[in-house]
Amino acid sequence: MVGRGMRVVVSEQDMDNCQCAACVHVDTKQRLLDTFSIPQDISITTGLETKHQINVEWSDGHRSQYSKQFLKHAVGHFDKRSIIRQGLENIELWDSSIAKKAPKVKDEHTDRIPLILEEIHKYGFVYVDLAPATPEATEALLRSISFIRETHYGGFYDFTADLASKDTAYTNIALEAHTDTTYFSDPAGLQAFHLLEHSGGEGGASLLVDGFKVARDLCEEDPEAYEILATTNVHSHASGNDGISIQPYRGFPVFQHDVATGNLMQIRWNSSDRAAIELPIGEVGKWYDAARKWDAMLKKEENEYWAQLKPGTVLIFDNWRVLHGRSAFTGKRRICGGYINRDDWISKFKMTHFGKDVVLGRLASG
């Protein structure tokens, strides 16, 4: 041991985590040290513990300083590090009763982005008051979170039910609860809808379902069905537009988990865009049985939150967690919005919620 209770720092891996300015760039936080130039038999020649840190001199003459807080988090604690990495902390699952307390951030908040991200992180969605109720103001709001993701449909969208893009979203038919962009290897993280106009008709209520809550219910009620949906790869595609057939580089299960912690991280569910299921023909029935049960639970009245969007209120939701849909409608319905990458919005959430020092303090290689 070095001092009182800290493990001895003795391997090339430990020197690889040296945080001095010669090993880590002060501004970019990228490694400067050539890891594989560290002698495999490196050892400590001297070690001194102070109140807040441990000072080490290595057998090759290099000197390192490790804060006790850094070492505390560098030794194991994969579960605690994953909370920071994944942005998973104090998540609240919900059902249709969320209608009584739907999360909302009002327009008068001057620094509202941290509040918006806190609500999305906790509930998976948030309503944001917006003035004026224009596409320009909506786009500015989204860009204040991060850049808007470009797809084969474009970037920021402003559309009516005219099939300008060959997707059922551009029609007036009802859409069951689903997640978007399952046909991408990396599905969109956030999605936003702002109803600008609905005239000369009715219907078009928006549907939200907490996929994490329903997944938990399925796991408790039928663990075997959950396991099938968590382990069977399913392929997807987007092929409606001329000259385009987008497919992920591989199939993915409906439920995606962090391999280190087992935490549910992502739901990919869109029957409209589904292609092949990676099971032998004699076993594929098991997937359909499990998917049928999952689908039925998504459609339980107790799990469906319905609401009418209105001009001046933007709905932003986590496309990795919350499924969305709508009822059929008549008349002219104009919607604007866009996608934001998951890594980018989680990055901003982590930096505003945990702070830079905490986030960077969990980056040690182990």
Residue 47: CATH number of its domain = 3.30.2020.30
Shared domain check, 59 and 198: no
- Domain assignment present for residue 294? The answer is yes
| pLDDT given for residue 7 in this prediction | 45
Shared domain check, 146 and 41: no
- Domain assignment present for residue 259? The answer is yes
| pLDDT given for residue 166 in this prediction | 44
* Total domains, the chain: 2
Identify the domain containing residue 18 by its residue range. 12-75
d(CA 256, CA 108): 38
Nearest residue to 143 via CA among 347, 352, 353, 345: 345
Shared domain check, 119 and 44: no
Torsions phi, psi for 252 (to 5 deg):
-135, 150
| pLDDT given for residue 318 in this prediction | 98
- 3 state DSSP class of 346: helix
Q: How many CA atoms lie within 13 A of 331 on its CB side?
A: 12
| pLDDT given for residue 3 in this prediction | 36
Q: How many CA atoms lie within 13 A of 194 on its CB side?
A: 27
CATH code where residue 174 lies: 3.60.130.10
- 3 state DSSP class of 280: coil
Question: At 334, which helix (H) or strand (E)?
Answer: strand 332-340
Shared domain check, 275 and 239: yes
With beta carbons less than 8 A apart as the criterion, state whether 88 and 82 touch.
Answer: yes
Shared domain check, 186 and 306: yes
| pLDDT given for residue 47 in this prediction | 79
- Domain assignment present for residue 343? The answer is yes
Question: At 113, which helix (H) or strand (E)?
Answer: helix 113-123
- What are the CA-CA distances from residue 321 to residues 88, 142, 189, 206 (Å)? 12, 19, 9, 16
How would you write the pLDDT of the chain (366 residues) with one tens digit per residue?
Answer: 233 344 444 455 667 777 788 888 877 778 888 888 888 888 888 878 887 788 888 888 888 887 776 666 655 555 666 666 666 668 999 999 999 999 999 876 668 999 999 999 999 999 999 988 999 999 999 999 999 999 998 999 998 865 454 455 667 889 999 999 999 999 999 999 999 999 999 999 999 999 999 999 999 999 999 999 999 999 999 988 888 899 999 999 999 998 878 889 999 999 999 999 999 999 999 999 999 999 999 999 999 999 999 999 999 999 999 999 999 999 999 999 999 999 999 999 999 988 888 777 766 544
